[in-house]
Structure 1
Amino acid sequence: MKTLVKGALAGAAALAVTSAPAVAQNLMISASLPQVHMWVGQSLDPFADKLEERTDLTFTRFYAGELVGVGRGLDALQGGTVDIVSPLLAPYIPGAFPLTDISQLPVYGTDSAQITRAFQKLMDSDVELKDGKTFYEYEIEPKGIVAWGLGASGPYAINTVSKEITSPADFQGLPLRAGAALQTMTLENLGVNPVTMPAAQAYEALSRKTIEGILLSVADWKSYSMTELLKYSIEGVALGHWESYAAISKSAWDGLSEEQQKAMDEVAREVALENAEFIQKQYLEVRAAAEAAGTTFVQASDLPQELQDHIAEASVATWKQWIETMEADGHPARKAAQLWAELVQEEGGELPPGVAEYLAD
């Protein structure tokens, strides 16, 4: 196993010229999602609560986009509108975080806790990707923020209102919601007609049959009131996991004392892992409730072999397409993907057949 950086933000903390004295201060923290969402009520609030208990920091909290809307978190941090944004929905900020979508690459046999740990390792890694820069130095530091990974979503599954997928032909032209560019690649490789929209807008689209289904983790159904709406789901293959960040502006970070910085780093990591445990628990609860309401859950390994092969081929194609597209834009996607593949497998996940061979070329 590669040696990982000790301390989530050892490099970021070292950038502070001096440590401010320990003083009580209030920080403004904003979420673009409502408290019912697992990244708010079970992440932002515990993060702020624990820091208020352990330090002299206090937080003024804003929810559901009342201060900063979806996709505006980075601007708000850089412009000083708020001190902390959680979740900073990186995939909704086109071009700003080119490598963060890596967690949405298709894998097999993974859950929230595995991907959360793998993503923490990715952010801590001292493996150089380009120009001597690690993942954190390449992806986070240039934005003027200090960031931590959140509890990863559960595995993104193919879910439909009524359509059962029994052959590759059933994917052809099927209108399904995707939430980010990499998910769109995956769906296109399956033959689906992807419709990109935030998950919060999908309920109405599904209800009106504007779309037939959605790429979304089962644990997230409750957050978007979809438990009794979706009636068919393919499990066992994760068409990615949604990851993002809790982030504080560099100026606000530099205003913290060394003790406050240390506490924030520890709490952010602790809450991410607790959040992952909650997400897994919520997955089991939501799945049981949906099954009781008539939803059919099908394991990918129980699908017809032709369909299994089609999903595997589409998954490999997505890894290749994402890497080659990012590399063409000058980003170190191949090295990042090699590192990510290693970390996912360390956590017990599996790669789609053919990915390891492609990465080794």
Structure 2
Amino acid sequence: MLNRLIAAALMLAAAVPAAAGNVTLRFSNWLPPEHYVVTEMIRPWAEDVAEATDGRVTVEIMQAMAKPEAHFDLVRDGVADLAFGVHGYTPARFKLTGMAELPLLADDAEANSVAYWRTYQRYFRPANEHEGVKLLSLWTNTPAQIFLRGGDVAGVGDLSGRKVRVLGATTGEVAQRLGMTPISAPASQSYELLSRGVIDGTFFQSDSIVSFRLQDYVDTAVTVPGGFAHSSQYLVMNRDKWNAISKADREAIEALSGEAMARRFARVWDRKAREARETLRGAGVRFVRLDGDARDRLAERLAPVRADWVETAAERGVDGEAALAYFHDQIEALNAE
């Protein structure tokens, strides 16, 4: 699949005039340089862009030019040309993307992400929540579960009173409805907060617990099929920089972005999650799974989270029920492939 995408991108770029100028895109990276978002997602994609454009468009990965939550504005304002970001870090700006963050969706990041991109294209794009930049793609990682330090946890009722880091507005609401105290902070601050005892736990994906070296500070993972939430993520480019690229090279980059990128990046998340669960079990982390009746009771408690998103979508001119129905239909179709 990837080789076919690159081949298609090369064919699209072949028509570019020889006089077209070269473009270097500055990618502001707020993650550790060895994090697999960089080494297994961004960097390989950047290499494919260079190959598909015959070297006319290249990506330079640089140290972060601002805090994680500032990267959308950083790209919009031209301080950086490219950035990876998390929608949940700026919930006041992004409302429709909250659909992909809802609890009890899909365990599979690939199906969730491709369905998300298709739903965005059909229902959310006219609302233009990414105004001022070129949105290259959006996707989710695997479901966020609840990882805790200390205390005996057998079910949802034992979560009340815990202070937990949340990923954004959706996990903040989930935490409150489960009687927990939400603490909003970027993923990059998780180690400091947990190691110092500022929080009792965090909503996180299993792979992120490992990649941020948190396995020594958690002993229990409370999980539910479909997860307590998801993290909606994006890659954006400065609009002026995008327009400075030749039409043929833009088409080549488009062939490597959109649904292709969502599927490609999600596959990395899925693989890393599988590996991380084994690592955590080996480290002695106890997994408490809420299934059957326990999951049904949880779904009842969290139903208002879904209803709140539908209401918010309506405020932005989107039929949230229709979007959710299409989203779930796409997930089912993708899982059946």
The answer to whether the superposition gives a TM-score over 0.5 is: yes
Residue 331 of structure 2: aligned partner? 347
1:84 to 82, 85, 108: 82
* Partner SS for 2:68: coil
Give the C-alpha shift of residue 208 in structure 1: 2.8
1:112 has 2:83 as partner: no
Structure 1, unaligned stretches of length 5 or more? 1-18, 126-133, 350-361
- Give the drift of 1:338: 3.1
CA contact (8 A) 2:41 2:268 kept: no
Partner of 2:220: 232
Residues 1:135 and 2:119 aligned together:
no
Matched residues in 1 for 2:247 and 2:86: separation? 27
Determine if the alignment matches structure 1 residue 50 to structure 2 residue 37.
no
Q: What per-residue deviation string (whole Å, max 9, x for no partner) do you get for residues 164-187 of structure 1?
A: 432443122121111201110111
Q: 2:276 aligns with which of 274, 277, 286?
A: 286
Give the Cα separation in 2 of the matches to 1:29 and 1:205. 27
Residue range with higher mean Cα deviation, 47-56 or 89-98: 89-98
Letter of the 2:316 counterpart: H
Aligned pair partner of 2:320 in 311, 316, 336: 336
Q: Does 1:146 align with 2:130?
A: no
Task: State the alpha-carbon separation in 2 of the partners of residues 91 and 308 from structure 1.
Answer: 24
- Establish whether residue 315 from structure 1 lines up as the match of residue 315 from structure 2: no
8 Å CA contact retained: 1:228, 1:290: no
Q: Which moved more, 1:146-155 or 1:113-122?
A: 146-155
Q: TM-score, normalised by structure 2?
A: 0.85
* Mapped partners of 1:24, 1:152: distance in 2: 32
Out of 281-290 and 311-320, give the one that drifted further.
311-320
Structure 1 pair 325–319 and aligned structure 2 pair: CA distance change class (3 A): same
**CA-to-aligned-CA distance 1:70-126 (integer Å, 9 cap, x gap):** 1112222222112221x133322242222112211112442211111112112322x
Distance 1:36 1:243 in 2: 21
Structure 2 unaligned regions, length at least 5:
1-15
Output aligned runs, 1:3-18, within 5 Å: none
1:255-266 → structure 2 map (5 Å cutoff): 255-266=244-255
- Structure 1 residue 33 corresponds to structure 2 residue 28: no
Which of residues 188, 193, 206 in structure 2 aligns to 1:200? 188
The sequence identity of aligned pairs, in percent, is 21
SS at match of 1:183: helix
The structure-2 alpha-carbon separation of the partners of 1:225 and 1:345, relative to structure 1 and needing over 3 Å to count, comes to: farther
Shift of the alpha carbon at 1:325? 4.9
Q: Distance in 1 between matches of 2:156 and 2:79?
A: 48
C-alpha RMSD over aligned residues = 2.3
Amino acid paired to 1:243: S
Contact (CA 8 Å) 1:118, 1:340: kept in 2 or not?
Answer: no
Equivalent residue number for residue 267 of structure 1:
256
Q: 1-side partners of 2:169 and 2:155: how far apart? A: 25
Given that 1:114 and 1:344 are in contact with CA atoms closer than 8 Å, whether structure 2 keeps it comes out as no
SS in 2 for 1:244: strand
Aligned to 1:170: 158
Residue 49 of structure 2 aligns to a residue whose secondary structure is helix
Matched, 1:69 2:67: yes
**Distance apart, 1:321 and its partner CA:** 2.6
Cα deviation, 1:270-328, whole Å, max 9, x if unaligned, reads 343222111111111111011011111233216xx3x434311222121123333564x
Once residues 192 and 236 of structure 2 are traced to their aligned partners in structure 1, the CA distance between those partners, rounded to angstroms, is 31
Give the residue type in structure 2 aligned to 1:339. A
SS at match of 1:195: strand
Aligned residue for 2:7? Answer: none
Measure, in 2, the Cα distance between the counterparts of 1:191 and 1:60: 45
Q: Could you say which residue in structure 2 is the equivalent of 1:15?
A: none
In 2, Cα distance between the equivalents of 1:297 and 1:51?
A: 41
Tell me what 1:324 maps to. Answer: 311
Asked if the contact 1:149–1:272 (Cα under 8 Å) also holds between the matched residues in 2, the reply is yes
Summarize deviations over 1:135-154 as a string: whole Å, max 9, x none: 1121345x221113344211
